Amino acid sequence: MTDVRILGTGAYVPDRVVSNDEAGAAAGVDDAWITGKTQIRERRWAADGQATSDLAAAAGRAALESAGITPGQLSVIVVATSTPDRPQPPTAAYVQHRLGAAGAAAFDVNAVCSGEVFALTAVEGILARHGGHALVIGADLYSRILNPLDRKTVVLFGDGAGAMVLGRTGHGARVRHVAHHTFGELTDLIQVPAGGSRLPLGQEALQAGGQYFTMDGRAVRRFVEDRLPQLTKQFLHEAGVAPDDISHFVPHQANGVMLDTVFAELALSRATMHLTLTRYGNTGAASVPITLDEAARAGALRPGELVLLAGFGGGMAAGFALLEW
C-alpha cells in the first residue's frame, strides 16, 4: 500500500453540445442507430480556437482548486493524451506555462484511452520517492482527427479533460494498488496511420485519409469483452480484495452497451458503475478522470469505500487503479 493520495479532482468539457443527429449526419446514421449501439446521446466538441492544452489547463485549475493547492506547489505535471497540441513539444509544457507552474517538470504520456491510469502510476512512483505534489491530467480532442464519413468512429468520440492532484500529505483517496498491461501484437486495431516517423503526413498520406483515427470496432469489442474481465479479476486478486469489496467502478467510457456486458461479467455485486458517456461520449484519456470527478463532486463516493478505475484502449492496453476513498 502506498501513501500517495488523490487530494482533488477537476474536469472540463467544451461548451459546444453535438447531438447524435449532427455527429452522424455525414456518415448516414441517426440518433436511434447511435443510441441503440452505444447509449451515447450527445458529446462536446471543441471550438475552432481550442487545443488539447486549453482543455487540460482548465481541468487542472479545477483540480488545484479542489485540492487547495497552488500551481507554485506543483513539482510535476503529466498530461496523458493521444491528441497533443503538436508532435512536440509536450502538451504538458503548454499546460505548465498556462497554469504558471514554473517550478514543475512537465511531460506527456501516450497510452491512448488507458493514459490517465498509466500516468497516475508514473506520478505515484515519483511522489513516493521524492514527495511534493503532482497534477495528472487526461485530455483528448478527438474531434480534430475523426473522419466524418466513418460511422464506426465519428459518433463515439467527444472532447474533454479530467485531472487529479496527488500528494503524500493531507486527506484524500489513497492509491492502494495499480497494474498495467500492453498487448503490442494488437497495435493495428486502433491507430492514426500517418503523422509519425513510419508514415510522415505528406500529400499522399492526406489523400489516403491517413490523418484520421481508425478502429477495428469488432476486434476491439472482442478484446474488451474477452480480456478485461479476466484482467480485472486478476488485479483484484493481486490487490487482496474480493469483488464484493468494491463499491464503485469507474471504467473508460468506450461504449455503454459493451460496458453493460463487461460489468455483468465482473460480478461486482455491490458496486455502482459510473457512466458519463451518455452526455460526453468517449473522451479518450479524459474519460476516467472526468467520470471520477463527477462522482466525487456529486458526493457519491464515501470515506473508506473502494473505487476501481479501469482504462483500456489502443496499444492494445489496459490499466487499473484501486483507490480507498
97 among known catalytic residues: no
Distance separating alpha carbons of residues 45 and 13, to the nearest angstrom = 8
Which segments within the chain are labelled E, that is strand?
5-12, 17-19, 42-44, 74-80, 105-109, 133-141, 159-167, 173-182, 190-191, 214-215, 246-251, 272-273, 306-313, 317-324
Q: From the candidates 20, 110, 255, 282, which is the catalytic residue?
A: 282
Q: From the candidates 177, 180, 252, 274, which is the catalytic residue?
A: 252
CB count, 10 Å around CB of 90? Answer: 22
Angle between helices 287-297 and 52-67 (to 10 degrees): 30
248 among known catalytic residues: no
Residues 6+ apart with CB under 8 A from 49: none
Distance separating alpha carbons of residues 58 and 109, to the nearest angstrom = 19
282 among known catalytic residues: yes
Q: From the candidates 20, 110, 113, 255, which is the catalytic residue?
A: 113
Rg (CA), the chain: 19
Q: Which three cell numbers stand for residue 136?
A: 495528472
Q: Which residues are catalytic?
A: 113, 252, 282
